[in-house]
Amino acid sequence: MKKRSLLVFLALLPLSAQAELYKCVTNGHTTFQDFPCESGNAEPIQPSGISIYTPPDLSPQPRESRSVTPQPNRSRNNSSASSDYQSTTERRNAEVRARTRGVVIPGMSERQAISILGKPANISTRTRNGRTCRYLYWDGSRPFQDGYHRVTICGGEVSSYTGR
């Protein structure tokens, strides 16, 4: 019983605590603070518990007029960097969508193609016009492979994909 009444007392203790509040007027400006004013003319106030504050009406801020001089070199560099970023982002998003669908798109690496389709059933290498390309084939004979797929990899990137 003593324990319960002590807990109730401790729980209600913060509700009865009040801080001292002082009203200070300095240069015609009124402030309220929890310590006496530096000038010594502090007026202690007893708050009633709830205070209502009506904010002043908002006034529009004056806009500063700026003269903008075009800088063609900087804008070209920014647009170039922006388009590079956008194309990189679009490329990455396309790869994520392709991976989700289980297909391979041109520009992917051989490693990405194998991670999407699994280990190929057959791999061949051919050189034409001084360019070496690898051909990866999936015939659906391995577990978890769906259908026939053929990927051509030239220069380390997928150059073509057919699948059903």
**Rounded Cα distance, 161 and 116, in Å:** 13
Query: How is domain 104-164 classified at the architecture level of CATH?
Result: 2-Layer Sandwich (3.30)
Return per-residue pLDDT of the chain as tens, 164 residues: 788 887 777 777 665 555 677 788 888 888 878 788 887 777 777 666 656 677 778 777 776 655 555 555 555 555 667 777 778 888 888 888 887 877 888 888 888 888 888 888 899 999 988 889 999 998 877 666 677 889 999 988 998 888 77
Handedness of CA 120, 122, 123, 126 (dihedral sign): negative
pTM value? 0.43
- Tell me where in the chain the CATH 3.30.1450.10 domain(s) lie: 104-164
pLDDT at site 99: 79
Q: Where are the beta strands (DSSP E) in the chain?
A: 21-26, 29-33, 43-45, 122-128, 131-138, 149-154, 157-163
DSSP for 35-59?
Answer: S--TTS--EEE---S-----PPPP-
